[in-house]
Amino acid sequence: MQDVRDKIISETLKNIKIDFTKRLHDANTFEIYQGISKTLLGYFAENWTKSNELYRKNRRVYYFSAEFLMGRSLGNSLVNLGLQEDVEGLLKDIGINYNEVEEAEADGGLGNGGLGRLASCFLDSMATLNLPGQGYGIRYKNGIFKQEIENGFQKEYPVNWIKYKIAWSIPKFSEEVIVEFTDMEVRAIPYDTPIIGYKTDNINTLRLWEAHPLEDLNIEAFNDQKYDEAVKCRNRVKDISRILYPNDSTSEGKKLRLRQQYFFVSASLQDIIRNFKKYNGGDFNNFSKYIAIQLNDTHPVVAIPELMRLLMDMEKLSWEESFKICNEVFSYTNHTILAEASEKWWVDFYKELIPRVYEIIVEMDKKWRGKLLELFPNDEGRRKDMVLIKDNMIQMAHMAIYTCHTVNGVAKLHSELLKYRELKNWAEIYPEKFQNKTNGITPRRWVAVSNKPLTKLINRLIGKKWIIHSEELKRLEEYGEHIDVLRRFLEIKNEKKKELGDFIRKTTGIEVNTDSIFDVQVKRIHEYKRQTLNILYILDLYFRLKEGKIREYYPTTFIFAGKAAPGYFRAKGIIKLINEVARIVNNDKDVNDKIKVVFIPDFKVSSGEKIYPAADVSVQISTAGKEASGTGNMKFMMNGAITLGTFDGANVEIVEEAGRENEYIFGLTVEEITTLEKEGYNPKEYYENVEGLKRAMDALVDGTLNDENSGMFKELYTSILEGADWHKPDQYFVLGDFQEFRTIRDKLNNDYRDKIEWAKKAWLNICNSGKFSSDRTIHDYAKEIWKIEPKRV
């Protein structure tokens, strides 16, 4: 080990000299970060090469995703390589604070939220399980925007992450491919990021494509001295990988977005076929023996007609042969049943940009309509519901279900809703296609990296096996009554709260009580996630405290964080509302020793790593049936927070695993909501009759709260009580769930007084969180969908 240690230091010093012409004492933390990162790359380069060589000879899976929310690489890589403590010690010896070096790295933010983070957790698990698998996506220059809060309002700023990420993203110019649109040819240049498994020599790959013009400048335009024209052309191509669309759970049918989807999917398929020919003999009868492709939501579904095109036009296969291959190769994950999320493309865009692909889709649709007519000659309604092209819109989910061998939902409840409600017609024809794969999170990043004291405690009690065998966490149950262990757990929670308290002070200037309950709702801001329900409770609580109606309330810090899509006016109104309630509460001497409200700006993976471990309460209160799974809920659970939630998504399974008595579950169920919808739901009834609700709602419009004439609060108020944008009033049943939410919240607050009882429940959450490791999820995908086997270098 001494050998490795000496080498790490000398290599790092050398790298800093080469890249920055500096000696250590002159280098800043970012330069040191780059130096170490480059050293590590050298450290595992041989294993990375070997892994690539091994995987391409075997059956493998390609994970197609328009988003990967990677976060930082250095700390995670060090933990997975088993070098973290060594490097921390080495740096300390030469007077450098490891944490500061870690903080110098910018997040890889090429995703919006849960869907992109899931893809990243999956890559970590594939590498850790030694599974031949590779991610494919887009190397956006500008990932998710940086959020700042100005005067309580969200402001968006572009981040050019590429500037910072050089070390972990390596160009492979010799492996470029060309992607063609009617109006442009695009050079797709791959950049590879190593995915380091935990305690294995295998190194997997994430390959991201960057768009470049074929020629550096349009020669004709250049020679004509039309420089503006020449530059414009160049830029139009580069635009393809310039920016990530910042919408979470809504689809925007923009041309550039279609270009992005087709660009990365076509480049990836060409790359796959090239490697298949080079390393697997090139007989397309064997293609599906080697290749599995998972489509992360509908964003990459254009891969289906594109593979048809490549097989028919380039490889001269017949329609039937090509379609059979597509069916054997592709599987599709559905991530949501929100109507506004389902992707539909205007046929004109396809015709205009990729006419041959369009032609193939039309042919597919025609064949499928024929089949439907055979199956349901007397049921036009059903046939219409299932076509691939409807009212001149291409239904991406339909194309996926029609073609793929497997369709999966992301939590039990969600998969059931797909099978028996949303996609009932499809499941009746293809029952064998439908599966469930409950989401998961990697215990490496979300515990071992981000909660080192908890990791140490667990290691001391049951050893380290749990980090890759999460079911081992069950063995912690034995300590569920050990007072010393529970006290240590509470101590760790408190350490983490102190760290988060420092971070909150730094980022917001607000001073929080680290002995208070840390009650946390962090996730994208969206109506269905119901941050409004939470804030209405806090408003009502504030008024009750002011009136002296509550004798005792255990001090609580209500913590929010999350980004709103820049075009989602109402979600931005919710952010302003949270900040406005925070301003009132935090500045009121009557209550601010009891409650505080904090909005942490710019929620991202690296801030999540500080937030999840510090939480006592995990707020997961989406309208039942709307959150497909959630993964934040799992990160909290594994760090010993108790879920305050509805029967929705993976909450249902969290309750199943940990026991209902160890969570706070409330609210309307899917069935109850269906009934209410049928019988007619009237939020005004609740507004008039639930004590305190009118007062809390009215605070939005009676001058108590100030939205600086933006109209945001009135709009929010109206959408709940009157309805807006052709939606029924309160489509997410906020008022319908208010009373139960208040009751259970008040109970929770009182229960917290018995700290040891609380700690026991929190501990049982950790013990029973093993199911939610993404290792379990990926193991099941590998076995039941991809049919791939581990291969070790």
Ligand X SMILES: *Cc1c(COP(=O)(O)O)cnc(C)c1O
Which one of the listed residues 523, 526, 745, 771 is annotated catalytic?
523
Total chain residues near ligand X (CB under 6 A): 13
Per the annotation, the verdict on 791 as an active-site residue is no
Q: Out of 113, 135, 613, 640, which residue is the one contacting ligand X (CB under 6 A)? A: 113
**738-752 burial code (b ≥16 CB/10 A, e <16):** bbebbebbeebbeeb
- Do the Cβ atoms of 649 and 414 come closer than 8 Å? yes
Query: Quick one: which of 109, 104, 30 has its CA closest to 70?
Result: 109
Nearer residue to ligand X within complex by CB, 583 or 610:
610
Task: Give the per-residue contact string, 619-638, with ligand X (x = CB under 6 A; - = no).
Answer: -----------xxx--x---
Dihedral angle sign, alpha carbons of residues 125, 130, 131, 132: positive
| Residues 635 to 694 in contact with ligand X, rule: CB under 6 A | 635
429, exposed or middle or buried, with CB in 10 Å at 0-12, 13-18, 19+? middle
- Chain residue whose CB lies nearest ligand X: 632
Type and span of the H or E element at 577: helix 569-586
Tell the residue number behind the tokens 């492709």, with chain if given. 293
- Do the Cβ atoms of 401 and 430 come closer than 8 Å? yes
Query: Quick one: which of 390, 416, 405 has its CA closest to 337?
Result: 416
Query: Quick one: which of 514, 613, 508 has its CA closest to 555?
Result: 514
Nearer residue to ligand X within complex by CB, 75 or 113:
113
Quick check: 444 binds ligand X (CB under 6 A)? Answer: no
Which one of the listed residues 12, 631, 643, 646 is annotated catalytic?
631
Quick check: 443 binds ligand X (CB under 6 A)? Answer: no
- Closest approach of Cβ 121 to ligand X, in Å? 9
The alpha carbons of the chain give a radius of gyration, in whole angstroms, of 27
Nearer residue to ligand X within complex by CB, 197 or 608:
608
- Sequence length of the chain is 793
Give residue 377's identity as a one-letter amino acid code.
P
- Closest approach of Cβ 264 to ligand X, in Å? 22
**Structure tokens belonging to residue 438:** 């409950």
Nearer residue to ligand X within complex by CB, 115 or 577:
115
Nearer residue to ligand X within complex by CB, 233 or 619:
619
Distance, first Cα to last Cα, the chain: 21
How far lies 751's CA from each of 540, 554, 614, 747, in Å?
20, 9, 19, 6
Quick check: 35 binds ligand X (CB under 6 A)? Answer: no
Nearer residue to ligand X within complex by CB, 497 or 604:
604
DSSP label at 173? G
Nearer residue to ligand X within complex by CB, 52 or 620:
620
E strands of 5-132, at which residues? 60-64, 68-71, 108-110
Per the annotation, the verdict on 631 as an active-site residue is yes
Per the annotation, the verdict on 594 as an active-site residue is no
| Residues 81 to 110 in contact with ligand X, rule: CB under 6 A | none
d(CA 438, CA 652): 11
Query: Quick one: which of 474, 436, 419 has its CA closest to 652?
Result: 436
Which one of the listed residues 257, 488, 497, 635 is annotated catalytic?
635
Which one of the listed residues 524, 530, 594, 776 is annotated catalytic?
524
Nearer residue to ligand X within complex by CB, 573 or 632:
632
- Do the Cβ atoms of 267 and 275 come closer than 8 Å? no
Which one of the listed residues 242, 299, 335, 572 is annotated catalytic?
335
Query: Quick one: which of 555, 568, 632, 551 has its CA closest to 597?
Result: 555
54, exposed or middle or buried, with CB in 10 Å at 0-12, 13-18, 19+? middle
d(CA 628, CA 181): 35
d(CA 493, CA 188): 47
Tell the residue number behind the tokens 């009554």, with chain if given. 481
Per the annotation, the verdict on 727 as an active-site residue is no
Task: Give the per-residue contact string, 586-625, with ligand X (x = CB under 6 A; - = no).
Answer: -----------------xxx--x-----------------
- List the Cα angle 345/350/355 in 5-degree steps: 155
- Do the Cβ atoms of 417 and 753 come closer than 8 Å? no
Task: Give the per-residue contact string, 498-537, with ligand X (x = CB under 6 A; - = no).
Answer: -------------------------xx-------------
Per the annotation, the verdict on 460 as an active-site residue is no
- Do the Cβ atoms of 149 and 601 come closer than 8 Å? yes
**544-578 burial code (b ≥16 CB/10 A, e <16):** bbeeeeeeebebbbbbbbbbbbeebebbbbbbbbb
Nearer residue to ligand X within complex by CB, 340 or 491:
340
**Structure tokens belonging to residue 505:** 């002070």
Contacts with 54 (C-beta within 8 Å, 6 or more apart), sequence order = 132, 791, 793
| Residues 150 to 169 in contact with ligand X, rule: CB under 6 A | none
Nearer residue to ligand X within complex by CB, 441 or 693:
441
- Do the Cβ atoms of 62 and 307 come closer than 8 Å? no
Q: Out of 35, 114, 305, 667, which residue is the one contacting ligand X (CB under 6 A)? A: 114
| Strand pairing category for 60-64 and 68-71 | unpaired
Per the annotation, the verdict on 523 as an active-site residue is yes
- Closest approach of Cβ 154 to ligand X, in Å? 15
Nearer residue to ligand X within complex by CB, 630 or 770:
630
Nearer residue to ligand X within complex by CB, 364 or 605:
605
Helices within 337-467 (DSSP H only) = 347-353, 355-375, 380-386, 396-403, 412-417, 424-429, 443, 452-462
Question: Residue 414 CA to chain centroid, in angstroms?
Answer: 17
Nearer residue to ligand X within complex by CB, 335 or 524:
524
Helices within 138-286 (DSSP H only) = 219-223, 227-238, 255-279
Count the Cβ atoms, other than its own, within 10 Å of residue 407.
25
Catalytic residues: 335, 523-524, 529, 631, 635
Interface with ligand X (CB under 6 A): 113-114, 117, 523-524, 603-605, 608, 630-632, 635
